[in-house]
Structure 1
Amino acid sequence: MTPRTAEAAQVEEANQAFYDAVETSDLDALEEIVLTGPLAETVSVVHPGWPVLRGRGEVMRSYALIMANTEYIQFFLTDVEVAVDGDTALVTCTENILTGGPAEEDGSAGTLVGALVVATNVFRRTPEGWRLWVHHGSPVLADGDDDDEDAAGPGA
């Protein structure tokens, strides 16, 4: 494995650790993943449908709220691409999300909903390893199978 490939693998592991922390509502694990230090106030996140949140404290509060109000969430990552340049790494991926509400009274699973979100995650190399600097998630609103005429709408 070349050093470049090893770096990309480390970044991909950090990226997966981020999603694992959110999936398991492990705020302590997420605290370990999100960048600290001199750049902490430049940490930012855009959750689908939310405005940009800036600063590590604000970002961590947003995840605490999401974790407290999400009964079930699971991420299946596809189309993962990693690029490393020096101390910065860029990950793009598709989050295939399965989320659900509380269990039914009979103990069966609550209603499950699927969603697609494209995400860009920026990581920064630190002495402790790769740390999440920026997360931007954008919902996929259109079906990628539409031809150009359908995508442009009627009369286009």
Structure 2
Amino acid sequence: MRARNEIVERVAEANADFYGAIENGDIDLMRRVWAEEDQAPDLVCVNPGWPLLRGRAEIMRAWSLIMANVPYIQYVLTETHIGVNGDVAMVTCEENVLTAEDDSPGFVAGGQVVTTNLFIRTEQGWRLWSHHASPVMLGDEEDED
């Protein structure tokens, strides 16, 4: 049981590194987070509003653009679950996102996204194989009454 808990902790750390890379605009960390093509063929990334990104070069180019054009972003992860089967791990969570969309002081937008992150165990540790994020359409609270 201890070994399983240690694996889950390592996967959680890799997942935290992914979000830390985005929040800090750290493309070098993002490169370390994602697997290499020979470790996990067909790397895939789906961000809300973006087309499907396939392959490490295309994914890194997209993250570079995102990081260069988003002045502030913060993630509060909730409902996080980690499942592990051999050398593959799946993290599902809700991303509660705060972001500044322009340079206006104090301008922050928020939203909720549900995410599935697949990780693969490599010699360098757990690396991201697939990131799929989908926005949650929040209805009016008045409609729920």
Task: Answer whether contact 1:47 1:138 (CA < 8 A) is retained.
Answer: yes
Question: For residues 49-85 of structure 1, what are the alpha-carbon distances to aligned partners after superposition, in whole Å with 9 as ceiling and x for unaligned?
Answer: 1121100000000100000110100000010000000
Instruction: Flag the structure with larger Rg.
Output: 1
1:37 CA displacement: 4.2
Structure 1, unpaired ranges of 5+: 151-156
In the aligned structure 1, how far is the partner of 2:3 from the partner of 2:139?
38
Deviation at 1:42, TM superposition (A): 1.0
Which of 118, 123, 147 is the equivalent residue of 2:119? 123
> Structure 2 unaligned runs (5+)?
none
1:42–1:55 contact (8 Å) kept in structure 2: yes
Give the letter for the 2:134 counterpart. Answer: S
Choose the corresponding residue for 2:134, options 130, 133, 138: 138
Q: Distance in 1 between matches of 2:55 and 2:37?
A: 11
Residue 11 of structure 1 pairs with residue 14 of structure 2: no
Contact 1:43 1:133 in 2 (8 A): yes
Shift in CA distance, 58/41, structure 1 to aligned 2, threshold 3 Å: farther
Range moving further from structure 2, 64-73 or 95-104: 95-104
Farther-moved stretch of structure 1 (1-10 vs 79-88) = 1-10
What is the CA RMSD across the aligned residues, in angstroms?
1.9
CA distance in 1, matches of 2:103, 2:132: 30
Query: Per the alignment, do residues 110 and 101 of structure 1 end up closer, same or farther by CA in structure 2, a change over 3 Å counting?
Result: farther
1:59-98 mapped onto 2 (5 Å cutoff): 59-98=59-98
Q: TM-score, normalised by structure 2?
A: 0.92
**TM-score under structure 1 length normalisation:** 0.85
2:20 & 2:6 partners in 1: Cα distance? Answer: 21
Larger mean CA deviation between 53-62 and 31-40 belongs to 31-40
Secondary structure of the corresponding residue to residue 11 of structure 1: helix
| Distance verdict in 2 for CA 1:7–1:144, change over 3 Å | farther
Equivalenced residue count is: 144
Amino acid at match of 1:132: L
